[in-house]
Amino acid sequence: MSNGYAVHDLVVRNNETFRQRITWLDTHKLPVDVTGYRADMYIRQTNQGVILQTWGNPEITVGAEPGVIDIKVPVSKVNRLLAGNAYYDLRLTSPGGDVTVIATGRLTIVSGVTMDRTIDNYRAVGPTGAYL
């Protein structure tokens, strides 16, 4: 990434942990110093629609390596997203309070076949027909 933000479409499966690594680069293609920054990712049904979810701490880690933003959202949160298209933006807030959108795009949510039996409102049925 360089000037401004990157448009980057993402795919999320709603039955597995979502992981994504993004590196923020300056105009010289060097990692931006993100020491002390905070990150938030907003997911909406439409660009200006209702917020479906917000990811931040602990789902997003900033600065484990220079310029690196690591996103790791557990299945217990991802499974609440219904299959379809949504939109996101990833914002970083500097220690001084400046906010920068570094990535935005479409978030395609794919419905998984195998679902964790701990998911809300889901009851697994075993081979004999009994609930697990």
| Spatial CB neighbours of 46, under 8 Å, sequence gap ≥ 6 | 87
Residue 57 is encoded by which pair of tokens?
Answer: 């701490």
pLDDT of 1: 40
| Spatial CB neighbours of 86, under 8 Å, sequence gap ≥ 6 | 43, 44, 45, 52, 106, 107, 109
Give the C-alpha separation, 129 to 123, whole Å. Answer: 11
Give the C-alpha separation, 117 to 132, whole Å. Answer: 8
pTM strictly above 0.95: no
Among 2-6, 27-31, 122-126, the minimum mean pLDDT is found in: 122-126
pLDDT of 115: 65
Residue 106 is encoded by which pair of tokens?
Answer: 């479409």
Per residue in 65-83, pLDDT (tens digit) is: 999 999 999 999 999 998 9
Which contiguous run of DSSP H or E holds residue 21?
strand 18-23
- Angle at the Cα of 55 (from 45 to 35), degrees rounded to 5? 135
Average pLDDT, the chain: 85
> In the predicted model, what is the mean pLDDT of residues 80-104?
94
- Give start and end residues of each alpha helix (H) in the chain: 75-78
Higher pLDDT, 29 or 126: 29
Per residue in 25-81, pLDDT (tens digit) is: 999 999 999 999 999 999 999 888 889 999 999 999 999 999 999 999 999 999 999
